[in-house]
Amino acid sequence: MDIVVTVNGRPRDASGIAAHTTALDWLRSLGLTGAKEGCAEGECGACAVLLATPDSDGGTEWTAVNACLMPAAALDGQEVVTAEGLGTPEHMHPVQAALAEAGGSQCGYCTPGFACSMAAEFYRARASRGTSDGADAAASVRTSADGGNGAAAGASDAHTTEPFDLHALSGNLCRCTGYRPIRDAALGIDTTPAVGDALAERRTRPAPAARATRLAGDGGRFVRPETLDEALALLHVEPDAIAIAGCTDWGVEANLRGRRAPLAIAIDRLDELRGFDEDDAGIDLGAALTLTEVERRLAGRVPLLAALFPQFASPLIRNRATLGGNLGTASPIGDAPPALLALEARLVLASPDGEREVDLADYFTGYRETVRRPGELIRTIRIPRPTANLTAFHKVAKRRYDDISSVAVAFAIDLDEERGTVASARIGLGGVAATPIRARATEAALVGREWTDETVREAASVLGGEGTPMDDHRASAAYRSAMLERSLLRLHRRSAREGVPA
């Protein structure tokens, strides 16, 4: 079966690739060597490229992704733009010109990746669906933008130019410049997409649909099924198959540890896994929505998750990673589980036999082990409402952006303001046991007590004793325990300073 990918506007035949061939290696084999391998685990962004993805109202968004983690087969029928496709040395893209002129490149190896991350933000921040006529850029960003999908004109307020968000670059590492010139280049771009900017224009039309894909070869098979039922049936007969969504975890396994799946099943575009439903009782999040999509759709309505997302890896990862994947791999240092534990989330698990719902607190059973049976998929993450009035996500890591937690603590505490007592407390912990855990003893030490220095000090010392932290290269056990203890003191200090939201 042919696999065809549109690269820089031109259809390219990808037949002959192996199931484990990465998008990066395949692009480079075409001679498009602008994307580089810097780490092969989604940490450095030197491989960043742009992928045409569906936006929230029927058009297309240019989304920056790490090509090193994506199987090339997952691109079947999709559209990709590399740094070479953004511009040429003679006709640079505005972000490329800004980087080149500002001294934003020294060795230049990371630069194409930066250019792609910057371009994604350029097209997002300058979200006009039309293009500037050059004469009146300020007015033109409000160009009518129904984008051929019939979206209400009332949404056009979203199409004004937003400032460049530097967090868009936090998944790209540069070892030479120290970032200042890159920052200044990004903040200095004041142009809107020019007339004839094909990538800006492309946003007005729908993104490519998912395309059913079957690839067989010596090194294993790759299948993108059309329906959830088909995926579940496949998983049922081949329990050794790996289900991949954003592939931000499996891609690392494949690249760094040489793991090869006999069958990889791509589930990231299955409609059944991409639902988003919200009512007074709670929110249902499709397991295959990317973190970026969830963050945008929630728009801050769940403050604990709003606090989590910016600390969860980098945009390049969040653009692909899913909540389902983060829960499916069941890593004890995943960042979503502590927050979802504190929110008392429940999971809907689907199998050919039907669906069942489990409390996330009962889901994890051991190191990377869960109650999820072979062949079962996480379909939905259910977050009950109302959520607590005092929430926080404390991530302790070496680096402020894009690092793996030494310890993560999520708080969802309901304070009874009239009585000044703790009505309920749910605390999720990561990095201190073989699984993410609830800090039950600490919760008990808080509930019904007054929210005072004394209570908090006592409960903090209980919290410091939760879990069974280890010494490793990220942190010592003693530090991890100390961070648990301090996290409650820190939360209390904040609530005293800011007051408690009603």
**How far apart are CB 456 and other proteins at their closest, in Å?**
13
Q: Is-contact 220 260, C-beta < 8 A?
A: yes
**How far apart are CB 170 and other proteins at their closest, in Å?**
5
Among 65, 69, 73, 99, binds other proteins (CB under 8 A): 99
For other proteins, the closer of residues 115 and 446 by Cβ is 115
**How far apart are CB 282 and other proteins at their closest, in Å?**
32
Beta bridge partners of 60: 54
For other proteins, the closer of residues 131 and 487 by Cβ is 487
Query: Is residue 204 a contact point for other proteins (CB under 8 A)?
Result: no
- Written as one letter, the residue type at 104 is G
For other proteins, the closer of residues 358 and 489 by Cβ is 489
Residues in contact with other proteins, total (CB under 8 A)? 87
Which residues ranging from 23 to 82 are in contact with other proteins (CB under 8 A)?
Answer: 28-41, 43-44, 46, 82
**How far apart are CB 105 and other proteins at their closest, in Å?**
4
Q: Give the contacts of 190 (CB within 8 A, at least 6 positions apart).
A: none
Among 58, 77, 87, 217, binds other proteins (CB under 8 A): 87
For other proteins, the closer of residues 186 and 287 by Cβ is 186
Beta bridge partners of 80: 7, 51
C-alpha to C-alpha distance for 238 and 423, rounded to whole angstroms: 48
Q: Give the contacts of 264 (CB within 8 A, at least 6 positions apart).
A: 19, 20, 71, 220, 221, 222, 223, 241, 242, 243, 244, 250
C-alpha to C-alpha distance for 435 and 337, rounded to whole angstroms: 9
Check residue 425 and give left, alpha or beta (phi > 0: left; psi -120 to 50: alpha).
beta
For other proteins, the closer of residues 88 and 227 by Cβ is 88
Q: Give the contacts of 205 (CB within 8 A, at least 6 positions apart).
A: 59, 60, 147, 148
- Written as one letter, the residue type at 441 is A
DSSP state letter for 20: T
What is the signed CA dihedral for 308, 314, 315, 318, rounded to 10 degrees? -60
For other proteins, the closer of residues 67 and 291 by Cβ is 67
Q: Is-contact 439 447, C-beta < 8 A?
A: no
**How far apart are CB 21 and other proteins at their closest, in Å?**
9
| Cross-sheet strand order for the sheet of 437-438 | 390-396, 407-416, 421-430, 437-438
Which residues ranging from 141 to 170 are in contact with other proteins (CB under 8 A)?
Answer: 166-167, 169-170
Stretch of residues binding other proteins (CB under 8 A), selected from 175-183, 222-230, 301-309, 363-371: 175-183
User: Could you please report the per-residue DSSP string of 67-128?
Assistant: TTTSBGGGGTT-EEE-HHHH--SSS--HHHHHHHHTT--SS-SSHHHHHHHHHHHHHHHB--
Q: Which residue has the tokens 């200090």?
A: 493
Among 134, 180, 214, 237, binds other proteins (CB under 8 A): 180
Which residues ranging from 441 to 480 are in contact with other proteins (CB under 8 A)?
Answer: 472-476, 478-479
C-alpha to C-alpha distance for 97 and 442, rounded to whole angstroms: 54
For other proteins, the closer of residues 306 and 489 by Cβ is 489
Site track for other proteins across 326-365, x = CB under 8 A: ----------------------------------------
Which residues ranging from 390 to 429 are in contact with other proteins (CB under 8 A)?
Answer: 396-404, 406
- Written as one letter, the residue type at 187 is L
For other proteins, the closer of residues 176 and 423 by Cβ is 176
Stretch of residues binding other proteins (CB under 8 A), selected from 22-30, 318-326, 375-383, 435-443: 22-30
Among 19, 23, 110, 388, binds other proteins (CB under 8 A): 110
**How far apart are CB 473 and other proteins at their closest, in Å?**
4
Cα–Cα separations (whole angstroms), residue 36 to 31, 253, 407: 12, 19, 32
Q: H/E element holding 486? A: helix 477-498
Among 150, 163, 258, 354, binds other proteins (CB under 8 A): 258
Among 56, 88, 227, 365, binds other proteins (CB under 8 A): 88
Among 13, 155, 160, 175, binds other proteins (CB under 8 A): 175
Check residue 467 and give left, alpha or beta (phi > 0: left; psi -120 to 50: alpha).
left
**How far apart are CB 388 and other proteins at their closest, in Å?**
21
Q: Is-contact 476 462, C-beta < 8 A?
A: no
Check residue 300 and give left, alpha or beta (phi > 0: left; psi -120 to 50: alpha).
left
Query: Is residue 16 a contact point for other proteins (CB under 8 A)?
Result: no
Which residues ranging from 205 to 234 are in contact with other proteins (CB under 8 A)?
Answer: 219
**How far apart are CB 400 and other proteins at their closest, in Å?**
4
Among 7, 14, 18, 336, binds other proteins (CB under 8 A): 18
Site track for other proteins across 313-332, x = CB under 8 A: --------------------
For other proteins, the closer of residues 347 and 462 by Cβ is 462
Among 228, 306, 482, 500, binds other proteins (CB under 8 A): 482
Among 142, 143, 161, 176, binds other proteins (CB under 8 A): 176
